[in-house]
Amino acid sequence: MNVPMSSPDLTDAERDAVAAVLRTPNLSMGSEILAFEDIFRAYTGSRYAIGVSSGTSGLHLCVRAAGITDGDLVITTPFSFVASANVLLFERAIPIFVDVEASTGNIDPSLVRQATADLRTVGRTAERWLPRRGFSTAYQPPDNPLPLKALLPVDVFGQPADMDPLLETAREFGLKVIEDSCEALGAEYKGRKAGTLGDYGVYAFYPNKQITTGEGAMIITDDEGAASFMRALRNQGRAPGDTWLQHTHLGYNYRLDEMSAALGRLQMTRLEELLQRRQKVADWYEERLSELPGIETPRLSAHTSRVSWFVYVVRFQPGLERDTIAAELGKRGIPARPYFAPIHLQPYMVERFGYQPGDFPITEELGKRSLALPFSGVMEESQVDYICQVLHQVITATL
Ligand SMILES: Cc1ncc(COP(=O)(O)O)c(C=O)c1O
């Protein structure tokens, strides 16, 4: 049996909606994107929703809207997909990594608080949070604290970060909060929707996500000025009132096309169904794997009032060779991927900031022991059965 790593969950009505756009003259910036944005405003209760071409471009626009620029510091997590840190580098800001909670893989709010307080203290207390190199103190007059501007937490694998203490730290120290909910559309934190908790939130729609538009994402915010700035930047920096070739700001082409928006609009009408199907597949895995020796199934935090399954990631106990197990699964038609590889140890990060193994031990431990199994809402129970049986055999042979 060959099982795909992930598959989009699409209907003929959704395929027809995309085809219908292709029979109109408006393939970009038409009525579909407006309708798609309206759905997100209604769904989240946020005042503004801005459809964009990817999660990365959405996060980048939030970084610009937050006024983050050369040499600014932003506290974020090394246990994420690289895009959440890269968007800071795009603006020549410095990601300040802090380690994560072992149970969820989400950024540790007590470390964030400590880092924030230390970075805001004048003197040498800040140093332990700074990278070994690639950090310029040129912007720091000796009697001023470092230019710490924002927090960028990530809702990892569809489970919200512990946002309340993060928001409290942000309020106390006057920091903006960009919530990377690219993996968490539909998740809830203490009954509140993931993505709506900070100043800006971003949901992404790559084909392995809860809903898909092919490529695409949605930014939400209640900040009117930021929303209109991000709309302008999305469209080559054209502010309201600008003409076709007048550009008030340095902008980008981060537009979401009409075909993608039409697909997303219809997918959103099925969000509950899509989330429930993913929950069912996660339950099938849990039933079969929770008792298997050597393996830990995903752990949910008490704050997670609803998990929105993005991927299904298991952890192997120390002593079990994750990569050997993944290779054995691969030989039997089951793709499986390490998830995540720590950002601070990516070659370009090491080169620039001088990070070393051991800098963020929990992230590194999770990076070594975690494996994402095939996952999507269209999986059959027989596929999950097969994967779990093979995993059982491989682990038993290894133990
Ligand atoms: C946590 C996180 N942030 C950002 C992104 C970037 O989204 P995109 O691939 O749509 O650019 C992803 C994508 O998988 C992600 O998982």
pLDDT higher than 80, residue 252: yes
pLDDT of residue 319: 87
> Which pLDDT value is given to residue 137?
58
pLDDT of residue 141: 55
How many CA atoms lie within 13 Å of 256's alpha carbon, on the beta-carbon side? 36
Amino acid code (one letter) for 167: L
Contact 184, 81 (CB under 8 A): no
pTM over 0.95: yes
User: Where exactly are the structural domains of the chain?
Assistant: 12-269, 271-398
* Residue 57 CA, ligand 1 centroid: distance in Å: 9
Q: With 0-12 CB in 10 A as exposed, 13-18 as middle and 19+ as buried, what is 291?
A: exposed
Return the ligand 1 atom nearest residue 204 CA. 10
Q: What is the pLDDT of residue 355?
A: 98
User: Quick one: what percent of the chain has pLDDT higher than 70?
Assistant: 98
Residue 55 Cα, ligand 1 centroid: separation in angstroms? 5
Q: Which of 62, 156, 183 to mutate to test the pocket of ligand 1 (most atoms within 8 A of CB)?
A: 183
In this prediction, residues 242-267 reach a mean pLDDT of 97
Q: How far apart are CA 86 and CA 60, in angstroms?
A: 9
pLDDT higher than threshold 70 for residue 139 = no
Residues with CB under 6 A from ligand 1: 54-56, 80-81, 83-84, 154, 180, 182-183, 204, 206, 217
Which ligand 1 atom is at minimum distance from the Cα of 183? Answer: 16
At 122 the pLDDT is: 72
For a mutational test of ligand 1's pocket, the pick from 62, 76, 77, 81, i.e. the residue with the most ligand atoms closer than 8 A to its C-beta, is 81
Return the DSSP state at 156: G
- Exposed e or buried b for every residue in 117-148, given b needs 16+ CB within 10 A? ebbbeeeeebeebbbeeebeeeeeeeeeebbb
Tell me how far apart the alpha carbons of residues 315 and 326 are, in angstroms, rounded to a whole number.
12
- Assign a CATH topology to domain 12-269: Aspartate Aminotransferase; domain 2 (3.40.640)
Q: Which atom of ligand 1 sits closest to the CA of residue 206?
A: 10
Closest C-alpha residue for ligand 1 atom 9: 55
Task: Classify residue 153 as exposed, middle or buried by CB count within 10 Å of its CB (0-12, 13-18, 19+).
Answer: buried
Residue 86 is predicted with a pLDDT of 98
Substitution candidate for ligand 1 out of 6, 52, 56, 219 with most atoms within 8 A of CB: 56
Model confidence pLDDT, tens digit, residues 369-397: 999 999 999 999 999 999 999 999 999 99
Distance 255 CA to ligand 1 centre (A): 16
**Segments of 113-205 assigned E as strands:** 148-152, 176-180, 188-189, 192-193, 200-204
**Residue nearest (by alpha carbon) to ligand 1 atom 7:** 55
CATH topology of domain 271-398: Aspartate Aminotransferase, domain 1 (3.90.1150)
In the sheet that holds 370-373, the strands lie side by side as 295-296, 312-316, 370-373, 337-338
Per-residue pLDDT band for 136 (boundaries 50, 70, 90) equals: low
Average pLDDT of the chain to the nearest whole number:
96
Question: Residue 127: is its pLDDT beyond 80?
Answer: yes
Overall average pLDDT of the 201-224 stretch: 98
H/E/C letters for each residue in 84-135? HHHHHHHCCCEEEECCECCCCCCECHHHHHHHHHHHCCCCHHHHHHCCCCCC
Mean pLDDT of 13-31: 98
**What pLDDT, in 10s, does the model give residues 325-381?**
999 999 999 999 999 999 999 999 999 999 999 999 999 999 999 999 999 999 999
- By alpha-carbon position, which residue is closest to atom 5 of ligand 1? 55
Percentage of the chain lying above the pLDDT 90 cut? 93
Strand partners, 314: 371
Which tens digits make up the pLDDT trace of 72-125? 999 999 999 999 999 999 999 999 999 999 999 999 999 999 999 999 887 778
Q: Which of 182, 202, 343 to mutate to test the pocket of ligand 1 (most atoms within 8 A of CB)?
A: 182
181: CA distance to ligand 1 center in Å? 9
State the first-to-last Cα distance of the chain, in angstroms, to the nearest integer. 25
Q: How many A from CA of 204 to the centre of ligand 1? A: 6
The answer to whether residue 258 scores a pLDDT higher than 80 is yes
